[in-house]
Structure 1
């Protein structure tokens, strides 16, 4: 069904019916009377790995462009939301209704240029208004929260590489920044030398500390160059797997039966064959 230009389609009756069916299915799975033993054994904490796993699988599906896979993974992710809300409802804490109402109210509150009379001239103004309203929601009506509090939230809630980028961006925005990229390169070589020195010793904690410092500096280099380190590493992971697939394809016995020189030759052949093409997901190979 097509919609007039600029008009946002609303959920259909079928979509709302399907969502209600999902809610009822999850409630049945959690029912002490004929429910599923596995679902009944779950708690919000035991489901944390599945929330993370489904989020990453959804991202992977989106990157692949496979619409069927995207729809399926979004369903798996939605299940985790409904399941968490169902457990909370059973414990008298909140329900899916409060979850949906809460996010709707937040979106309306943080978009006064859409739902109110505020005018904005750029995406940057939208972002600034969002951050200001967010601070006000947290009770910072007169004094904005310390930057360190925000940085702690990133470190606590985001994957380390993503958190490092956010922390780096926010700190730089507050003036904690090098004058030029030359300063970042100097820091890189300094941290590399310190890691090499630490690796000569036996203190694993110190070695990890120096490794972390080097990785954080590399994140800063990425930021200066406008690169996404998480995307870069994801691409490298995929290229490595693609090349590994090619190596295994030419081997007629276990990899451990080949010498390092032979494996290196296979690897270089795979690298030359694949080149630096855009990495694909396993489903696209």
Structure 2
């Protein structure tokens, strides 16, 4: 395997990071916060940093991408250090296991196996993965297995969209978009009824059904619900920032009518800016 020109610098930088994290976790002069962390308490940071990497990639800012990848790498090193402190495994085992997995799952690269297309590569990958886990390949191809994997490994909105897509391919699909809208109206009515007459658990269940139907509507119109919600979040924050830039008192000091007027002004201003410069 050909070494990268700066491989030594990369390994040196990684070693320095490992040493810094080990020092932070050291009972002898380490950081109390780092020492108090467990694998479970670090979970929110793993998720947060992964999302920040995605946000940086979408921004196209190379410096931000490098910084956020570093934050995510820190979470990997921290998890490995916590495990090492407990005598379970260390970062070398983490690296070895993923390297072995990559080689094992790419026989068309690391052996003489010939493949004709990407579909064959994917099928080989799934067969090897099933064998690794001691599973029957035919079982892993069942719809329920694939849906459970999506629900377990993806954020809820992304999982719901993937579940909807796979179910539709398998035949669980409405005939027309009007049928989907009718289902949405049905679920909306059931949610409203639950809010008025049923338990909190029933309300949660009906809210979930309503969301899932809305995600199906998005799929029918080739829309990504995760991207849609992210855009709404960003627009809300942008409008709020416009309001905070012009008010001279805490927002809580204003009436709802005043806040609504500020909101509409901010909305109009941002819309005008986007029309003038659509790339931003």
Please say whether Structure 1 and Structure 2 have the same fold, judged by a TM-score greater than 0.5. Answer: yes
1:270 equivalent in structure 2: 266
2:164 equivalent in structure 1: 168
Alignment counterpart, residue 137 of structure 1, candidates 127, 132, 138: 132
2:238 equivalent in structure 1: 242
Residues 226 and 47 of structure 1: CA distance in aligned 2, closer, same or farther (over 3 Å): same
Verify: 1:260 aligned to 2:256, yes or no: yes
Query: Is the CA contact (8 Å cut-off) linking 2:177 and 2:220 kept in structure 1?
Result: yes
Aligned counterparts of 1:254 and 1:245: Cα–Cα separation in 2: 13
* Structure number with higher relative contact order (C-alpha < 8 Å, ≥ 6 residues apart): 1
Aligned counterparts of 1:135 and 1:176: Cα–Cα separation in 2: 26
2:108 equivalent in structure 1: 113
Aligned counterparts of 2:6 and 2:253: Cα–Cα separation in 1: 58
Aligned counterparts of 2:15 and 2:30: Cα–Cα separation in 1: 18
1:47 equivalent in structure 2: 42
Aligned counterparts of 2:117 and 2:48: Cα–Cα separation in 1: 38
- Matched residue SS, 2:29: coil
CA deviations over 1:47-104 (Å, ceiling 9, x no partner): 1122122222222222222222221111111111111112212323222112112112
5 Å-filtered alignment, 1:202-221, equals 202-221=198-217
Q: By how many angstroms is 1:214 displaced?
A: 0.7
Query: Is the CA contact (8 Å cut-off) linking 2:243 and 2:266 kept in structure 1?
Result: yes
Under a length normalisation based on structure 1, what TM-score does the superposition of the two structures give?
0.84
Q: By how many angstroms is 1:29 displaced?
A: 2.1
Q: By how many angstroms is 1:191 displaced?
A: 0.9
Gaps of at least 5 residues in structure 2 are none
Aligned length: 272
Aligned counterparts of 2:123 and 2:56: Cα–Cα separation in 1: 31
Verify: 1:192 aligned to 2:175, yes or no: no
1:152 equivalent in structure 2: 148
5 Å-filtered alignment, 1:73-88, equals 73-88=68-83
Q: Which moved further from structure 2: 191-200 or 111-120?
A: 111-120
Structure number with higher helix proportion: 2
Aligned counterparts of 1:273 and 1:114: Cα–Cα separation in 2: 54
5 Å-filtered alignment, 1:48-63, equals 48-63=43-58
CA deviations over 1:195-214 (Å, ceiling 9, x no partner): 12222225222222111101
Query: Is the CA contact (8 Å cut-off) linking 1:113 and 1:120 kept in structure 2?
Result: no
Q: By how many angstroms is 1:189 displaced?
A: 1.7
- Matched residue SS, 1:199: helix
- Matched residue SS, 1:275: helix
Under a length normalisation based on structure 2, what TM-score does the superposition of the two structures give?
0.86
Residues 33 and 83 of structure 1: CA distance in aligned 2, closer, same or farther (over 3 Å): same
Residues 265 and 188 of structure 1: CA distance in aligned 2, closer, same or farther (over 3 Å): same
- Deviating 4+ runs (over 4 angstroms): 7-11
Aligned counterparts of 1:110 and 1:11: Cα–Cα separation in 2: 27
Residues 177 and 8 of structure 1: CA distance in aligned 2, closer, same or farther (over 3 Å): farther
Note the aligned Cα RMSD (angstroms): 2.6
